[in-house]
Amino acid sequence: MDEYIRAEDLRKLYTMGTVEVRAINGVSFSVRKGEFVGITGSSGSGKSTLLHMLALLDPPTEGTITIADRDVISLSEAEKGIFRLSRFGFIFQDYALVPELTAEENVSLVAMARGEEAGSYSRRSRKLLGQVGLGERVAHLPSELSGGEQQRVAIARALINTPEILFADEPCANLDSTNSRAVLDLFREINQRMNLTVIMVSHEDWHMEYFDRVIRLRDGKIEEDFQPEIPDATASP
């Protein structure tokens, strides 16, 4: 089996005064390329902490992470930045789009930051916005878009640099169920069409039907690692 991401005995220790919090307490697993992985668990179980370590936003206290056979823990901050910019896509609970940029400019900004020529990315970002259903909204400012629409702009932004891994931390937390479904359908589609690896944190049970695989955390440890049953397409309403 080709291991694309490999986490080995990850630990994250927070010390607050005399209190020690073992947010992640010995976690090992590997992810194949193109897998759609859901990280679930109750609040405080360490989901976000684990995602941040995998996404090179926060170094683990102990353990190793390899991505595409590369030890990424030892990279410098600047190298991690370049790694994230060119290989990762990010979607957070907060869309945090740049308020003074239009939908298209928000998406283009990330390609521009990678040093691309203007001609190449503006067509691509319009196309991506079309794919997330915002073809008519490319010139709108974030303040003129609904929460669901803003999150879709954030998704287009995450995809503009054709990432290898998409990290999402509760991307649907601020969305109603219709918008949530739209976002998850989009993830599923991207995952299948682009063979994009998706690692997504969620604590909604019904999201599980979208995942290839679920890693359930409890107190900083893996409680369960399983493939959810694929719901019967004919039986669902």
Partner 1 sequence: MFDDLRVSAFLATRSIQRGGRGRNAMYIIIIALVLTNMIFLPSVIMGAMDVYYVQTVDYISSDVIIKPPEDVRYIDDVETLLATVNRMSGVVRASARYPMAGSIDFEDKTVAMEIDAFDPRDETEVTKFHKHMKYGDFLGSGDRDQIIVGSLVAGAKDDTGEFYASLGGATVGDSVVVRYANGVVREYRIKGIFNTKSYQADYMVFVTKDEMDAVTGSGGARATEVLVKTVSAEDAQPVKKRILEFGVGEDVETWEEALPDVVSESVESFAIINTISVLGSLVIAVVLIFIMTTIKTFNNRKQIGILKAIGLKKSIIINSYVMQVIFICLIGAIVGSLLIGTMVLYFTTYPIEFPDGDVTPLVTWAMIIENTALLFISSAIAGFIPAWRVTNEGILEAIRGG
Residues lying near partner 1 in the complex (CB under 8 A) are found at 52, 55, 57-58, 78, 81-86, 88, 90, 92, 94, 96-101, 105, 109-110, 112-113, 115, 141, 157-158
Q: Does 49 bind Mg ion (CB under 5 A)?
A: no
Report the candidate in 121, 174, 169, 128 with the shortest Cα–Cα distance to residue 147: 174
> Contact between 14 and ligand ATP (CB under 6 A)?
yes
Return the beta strands (E) in 115-220 as ranges.
Answer: 165-169, 197-201, 213-218
- Residues 37, 16: Cα–Cα separation, whole Å: 31
Q: Which long-range contacts (CB under 8 A, 24 or more apart) does 177-184 make?
A: 178/148, 179/146, 179/147, 179/148, 179/151, 180/204, 182/133, 182/148, 182/152, 183/148, 183/151, 183/152, 183/155, 184/210
14 contact choice in ligand ATP, Mg ion, partner 1, none (CB below 5 to 8 Å, kind-dependent):
ligand ATP
Q: For the beta carbon of residue 29, count every other beta carbon within 10 angstroms.
A: 16
What sign does the CA torsion over 134, 154, 209, 179 have? Answer: negative
> Contact region for Mg ion (CB under 5 A) — 40-48, 75-83, 96-104, 143-151?
40-48
> Which is closer to ligand ATP, CB of 181 or CB of 203?
203
Give whichever of 14 and 226 is closer to ligand ATP, judged by the CB atom.
14
Q: For residues 158 and 200, which CB has a smaller minimum distance to Mg ion in the complex?
A: 200
Minimum Å gap between C-beta 160 and partner 1 is 10
The yes or no reply on residue 44 touching ligand ATP (CB under 6 A) is yes
* Residue 43 binds ligand ATP, judged by CB under 6 A: yes
Q: Which stretch binds ligand ATP (CB under 6 A): 1-9, 25-33, 45-53, 110-118?
A: 45-53
Q: How many CB atoms lie within 10 A of CB 17?
A: 5
Residue from 45, 48, 102, 202 binding Mg ion (CB under 5 A): 48
